[in-house]
Amino acid sequence: MRIAMWSGPRNLSTAMMYAFGNRGDCAVVDEPFYAAYLAMTGLDHPMHAEILESQPQNPETVAETLLGPVPAAKPFYYQKHMTQHMIPGVPRDWMRDVTNVFLIRHPARVIASYAAKRENPVLEDIGFRQQAELFELVRSWGQVPVVVDSHDIREDPAAKLEQLCEMTGMPYSPKMLNWPKGGHKDDGVWAEHWYGAVWTSTGFAGPEGPLPDVPEELQPVLQAAMPYYEQMRAAKI
């Protein structure tokens, strides 16, 4: 079974990859289209050169590997994807052959977290529009995609992960609740810039507090993202 987990950045996505990677029966891959995305857009991201060198830059090649042999011949394959990487020219047909799951988070939390790592994010950086479009694409194929909110996972990791596994046809494992400190062997090369907090963790953080304040200059991004988030939230498990 191949699970494609779709989220924007700062959505609990790395912790989720660690949870699935700690099962023992599940291979993981970290943002496989990142280098292709940078090569196609020319965007200047932190560790740009290192990312381009670390992954295939041809998106067709990436798609082939996602449907190819599962690393270490494990029965499950968890693919962590960033929705903002799915720009025109990146193939989507391969998504028909995987179980598509959408991980969402309130835009205020995403924007506050992202802005702390990369200044002045715009809507295209945080993936909400692209996530909703991919969700509708998957539904148009007759699939019933699963949507899970990172807020709910942090409220009760065991219950929500068990429900998520049930919805995807995967057996639940309590090993998903913890992982070793210090990162995962399959982390992308960019991990040292983005994954500091999760590297020091050994499990999911506790329940989230009140929504953070979003600065005035980023309010337009928040307002643009909210309708997409609300659309996805209406379908969450």
What topology does CATH give the domain 2-233?
Rossmann fold (3.40.50)
How far does CA 69 lie from the centroid of its chain?
22
pLDDT score at 114: 82
pLDDT score at 129: 97
pLDDT score at 142: 96
pLDDT score at 101: 98
How far apart CA 165 and CA 70 sit, in angstroms, is 19
pLDDT score at 115: 78
Q: Which of 209, 135, 134, 148 is nearest to 176 (CA)?
A: 148
pLDDT score at 121: 85
Q: Tell me which residues of the chain have a pLDDT lower than 50.
A: none
How many Cα atoms occupy the beta-carbon half-sphere of 73 within 13 Å?
0
**110-124 residues labelled b (16+ CB within 10 A) or e (exposed):** bbbbbbeeeeebebe
